[in-house]
Structure 1
Amino acid sequence: MNKKVMLMILDGWGIATNPEVSAIKSANTPFMDQAWGMYPHSRLNASGLAVGLPVGQMGNSEVGHMNIGAGRVVYQDLVRVNKAIEDGTLEKNAILQSTFDHVKKSGKKLHFMGLVSDGGVHSHIDHLKSLCELAQQHSLSDQISVHAFTDGRDTDPQNGIKYMADLQQFFSNRGGNLASVIGRYYAMDRDQRWERVRKAYDALVHGKGSYT
């Protein structure tokens, strides 16, 4: 007789270390309370090294989906890029090298665009800084233009100004330019809402935008 097994994921459910600030602990959860009391159970660590992230880095739905049921630690892109920076692999990347050479010979701008925060889900600001430092080592400091997508989803919605100030400080010491700023709501829309994407497209391709 075959027995069925169900893998059911409760998004956002967790075990708080401080019950006084736990919404779950304060809620009425009779089914979960009964299941916890009647059946064998265990706990999963869903952040940091347990799911292939750096120590202290919070988990997220994407990381959880990659790891659950894998039977091993699935190292995330964040860790892999960190390692490539530390061991010099990124510096030796052939595509980066040829790009830097082309920009240097042509005298054109070197454009970096992407999510700028320390959320660690789709990007990390330290990776952007490392790319800029590599470009600066190729004497391209005056040709770097960064198009920043602010991150109000994986970090505090009010923290965009903090990351922009951090970048400006970074550029003031090494060279580089913050060319444009736009929220991920527009630049990273994944619901095929062209009216949003167009604002980002026009800013990046045609240089159109609101000057503040």
Structure 2
Amino acid sequence: VDVCLGRIMEAMKQVGGVLLVTADHGNVEMMQDSQGNPHTQHTIYPVPFVAFGAGAVQIRTEGTLADIAPTILELMGLPKASEMTGVSLMHPTGVYVAAHDMRLHYAI
């Protein structure tokens, strides 16, 4: 997987694109409590959001999964649908961190 991801990253660099990698839940190792029972609150843990690509942008350090689609739309220069509840991670709200050249930066 790492080699394949490296190939994709190299392709994005060559075309000036942006690669976004995320997951639908964080901390998979925390799926059981100390008694071995299923831990159903795994959605409260931070989910990595890795961005790689050309240019320097600022992204919020906090967000929700609902913010990912609006972020992708903004990167593509497309409008967000009015039905969408999320806000782009590049939207000027919240706490920001500079991600120069977007090299493996975690956001959410």
Same fold (TM over 0.5): no
Higher relative contact order, structure no. (Cα contacts within 8 Å, ≥ 6 residues apart): 2
Work out which of the two has the higher radius of gyration on C-alpha atoms and give 1 or 2.
1
**Structure having the larger proportion of residues in strand:** 2
If the length of structure 1 is used for normalisation, what is the TM-score? 0.21
If the length of structure 2 is used for normalisation, what is the TM-score? 0.35
**Structure having the larger proportion of residues in helix:** 1
